A and B are shown apart, each in its own frame.
Chain A
Amino acid sequence: MKLAPFAALCAALAFPLTTLAAKENAAPARVQLKPIKFVEYDLPNGLRVILHENHAAPVVATYVLYHVGAKNERPDRTGFAHFFEHLMFEGTANIPRSTIDKLISGAGGNLNASTSFDQTDYYFNVPSNQLKLALWIESDRMLQAVIDEKGVETQRKVVKEEKRMRYDNQPYGSLFEQLAKLVFAGTPYAWVPIGSVQYIDQAKIEEFREFYKTYYIPNNATLAIAGDIDIEKTKKLVEEYFGDIPRGAEIKRPVVELTPLTKPVQQEVKEDKTPLNATLHAWRAVPETHPDAYAMEMLGSVLSSGRSSRLYKRLVEKEQAALNCDAFPFLLEKAGMLGVFATGQQGATLEQLDALISEEVEKVKAEGVTEDEFRKVLNQKEAEFAGGFGTMSTRAKNLARYRVFYGDTNLINTELDRYFAVKREDLQRVAKQYLTKEGVFVLRYPAAQKAPAAAK
């Protein structure tokens, strides 16, 4: 029911492929991560199944990822994938309207769902004796969700309130929408998952049913189950509940073709609710599975991860021009960008913020990163990986994600190696290659002028 907000989108790490060149490290021994074991297989109907057995707690997480997101939408039907996520809680042929949550809550569990540019996912966390209930619900809504007028009417209203709450009523709330429109213009990444509400109003109920028929099919879905399960018993249950769901027609995947940028683009967004000057610089980068993705992630960390990072030290600490300044690689299935966002302190001008960001970016292009910085970022990544994947819910989610977007489920255990395979020079190289002067998008939010009456 939840749409990943801007912050989550930015925080979501991209986990791409890169060359596996051997790398010698003179640093302390790398931490041994405890392997996360799993089995995976396909049902004859195309459903990919991933099972991870772990008895640390009597908990089971089920996670269903449908490979459909905002980029599968038509430009005149944006917001469709997210809207459909809401409809998936309505009911099925066997489950009455508005009872899915009651079933899960009444079993002592919890649930949620989210929609992003590339995927829609549904997750349940239940005590392990309720696994069958979770499978029953997920399989029945894959097989025979009921989409009726009443549910559509209610959710139309709900989604409009969601958009107001997350975006329209918040300072800088339109930022990501504006950014996607600029950077990914002309592609199906040019709109955000919340979309434009009028299209949901215009859509007929048959269109929602068609969307379901097209995308909510076993051969477009991945089911991951992690926790207190018995692998063999669970395999049988999965077969029983999901085995008879018919395979659907092959899906035509959207094409993302960007028109090359020949000169910088700058845009100002004037809104009365903008309290402080803010600016965002963005460059097109690479998709998450591109060989340069890891170097791009590490470059982002050099720029803004921690108080010893370049942008923090310069903009926040030394010049005291910014309240905060974040570099965020935003790498998707078929395109990507690197953004740098700064909110100014009172009195800081947009020109000042823009100049400082440009200077720091040019500096890293000209000089590269130091050995200390490089080592630091690897250590940060190491700590991040060692500290991640703790709960069954995060394990189920990431097992599925690595499978669908990288074709390698085992990356949950090995991805850190790929960061360690990056060379220090790679960071400077990707900075030079992608953060070009002619390829920058600048999106500015000038602070609103105060009405005279409000002045003291």
Chain B
Amino acid sequence: MKLSLCALLTVLALPAFAAIDRSKKPEPDPAPAASFPEYRTETLPNGLKIFVIEDDRKPTITLRLVIRSGSAVDGKKTGTASFVAGLLNRGTERRDAATFAVETDSIGVRVEGAASDDAISVSAGGLTKYTDQILDLLADAVLHPTFPADQFTRLQRKTLSSLEAEKQEPDALASKLLGKVIYGAFPYGDYLTPESVKAIQREDLATFHKAHFLPNNASLAVVGDVKAAEILPLIAKAFGDWKRGELAGEKINPIPELKGLTIHLVDRPGSVQSNIIVAATGPARNFPSLPEVNVLNSTLGGGFSGRLFQNLREKHGWTYGSSCAFDFKKLGGSFQATAETRNEVTAPAVQEILKEIARIRDEAAPEAEIALQRQYNVGNYLLSLENSSRTAQRVQDIDLYDLPADFYKTYARRMSETTPAKIQELAKKYLTTENVAVVIVGEAKEIQPGLEKIGKVVVYDQDLKPVAK
């Protein structure tokens, strides 16, 4: 009874609208125009580049300072950059660690440093009514850290405990070994070990800070409910006295070439699942085909419609997720396709991943599939422009990775112009099934025999040391 009354009401309420035809997918309205948001660029006399993005949606301000030096320039002391980043807010010339913590917490602000291979970033964000304090705290952390001995020792000890925990974390084991087998002795392959943590000395941090924390080696992005004309003088005041310096050139070995297919298996007894990464060497961030390669990547394994997800999850039910991505760094990169599968289907899953890589190289994809992937990439890029912090990061990436100034202005158009022929051409150039490193973390006694049939297997323990046969 309720049902028919309901339907009747619907009709009565909307006499102008005929019932829709549910059997047909609705047509979209005309596509909205979207362009990369406007931003203001300034450079202080000391060389610090500043980008301001005004966004009045929230009464907040976020600052992100990027130093264009990261773990890749650790030199012999692996971990130096990450220790520097971790201790910036743990004691400065004006504030000891406890004072810094109280001052930030008291106004609901976080000032945090983080190191990646190519950069150290320091972020600070909070309410605009505290803009002066936020700038002061950020400048203090960036310019005047003292790396106090007690805090240094504490972080060292804590890091050793974290490393112990990571021996049981499949993701951590896989990503450390992956770096090593892709990059070898190139610094991108280094990871923290108890030995390297103990080798770092407090003086190394000050030395690193002095050598790399230079205004002419940095950029600062500001996002929030601010006016460029008002915030720029405040930034000039906070960072204007920062002294320019000469950046020493680092001598870095070239990235080794990967030859053949090797399976690197970390034996983690008790594993009920295998973490699989099929990896290869990839291009650096500023290579010329990034927008088009994004379409290639998502066709193979981006999102839920990518081939890897459709094959390994929806067809076989072997994994919760399967995807791939290029990790583009400043001086090189890698390609990684991943899945987490139960022990008995580990070897078949590796084979299916390799098969999908081969297929996208060997056969041009149907136009309909590429059309979907073009739209997926372009549309999601458009959606991401909603997020101003993301925009700020992109602007800083142009600076960090030496990208063409109009990179994001032409980005959507280039993705939308990609063709199946172009995708296949790029697949042949940037994907391989021959020179591949397969990293797996799992129960060796159950999965090794199957893997031996695919290729040479090297077994490691949870300290990532090769195990003698």
Contacts and interface: CB of A to CB of B under 8 A. Distances in A.
Given A108-B376, A240-B14, A308-B101, A376 B26 contact: no
A157 interface: yes
B25 A133 contact: yes
Interface string A265-277: 0000000111110
A136 B23 CA distance: 10
B28 A132 contact: yes
Contact of A108 (B25, B106, B316, B382): B382
A240 B319 CA distance: 38
Given A154-B317, A161-B342, A306-B104, A33 B3 contact: no
- Summarize B's interface: helix, strand, loop or mixed: mixed
Contacts of A107: 28, 375, 379
B17 interface: yes
B378 interface: yes
A57 to B, nearest CB: 4
A383 interface: yes
Given A108-B375, A236-B14, A165 B273 contact: yes
Nearest to B380: A110
B93 to A, nearest CB: 19
A426 interface: no
B102 A132 contact: no
Interface string A237-272: 001110110110000000000000000000000001
B57 A56 contact: yes
Nearest to A55: B32
Given A59-B383, A108-B379, A133-B26, A306 B101 contact: yes
B445 interface: no
Given A110-B303, A383-B109, A323 B165 contact: yes
Given A1-B304, A246-B3, A382-B127, A372 B383 contact: no
Residue picked from B107, B125, B341, most chain A C-beta under 10 Å: B107
Query: For chain A, which range describes its interface: under 10, 10 to 19, 20 to 34, or 35 or more residues?
Result: 35 or more
A210 to B, nearest CB: 19
Interface in A96-139: 98, 101-103, 105-111, 125-133, 135-136
Contacts of A78: none
Contact of B32 (A45, A58, A110): A58
Interface string B256-283: 0000000000001111110000000000
Interface of B: 2-3, 5-7, 9-10, 13-14, 17, 19-20, 22-23, 25-34, 56-60, 97-98, 101-102, 104-110, 125-127, 129, 154, 157-158, 160-162, 164-170, 268-273, 303-305, 310, 313-321, 340-342, 371-373, 375-376, 378-380, 382-383, 385-387, 461-462
Given A127-B379, A236-B14, A375-B106, 7 more contacts: A31-B59, A140-B22, A158-B319, A165-B273, A243-B7, A316-B158, A379-B106
27 contacts: A28-B129, A32-B59, A33-B59, A45-B6, A58-B32, A102-B305, A105-B303, A105-B375, A106-B305, A106-B375, A107-B28, A107-B375, A108-B382, A109-B380, A130-B28, A136-B26, A170-B169, A239-B17, A272-B270, A276-B165, A306-B104, A307-B105, A316-B158, A382-B127, A383-B107, A387-B125, A391-B387
Top 8 closest pairs, chain A to chain B, by CB: A108-B379, A157-B317, A383-B108, A58-B32, A306-B105, A307-B101, A132-B26, A243-B10
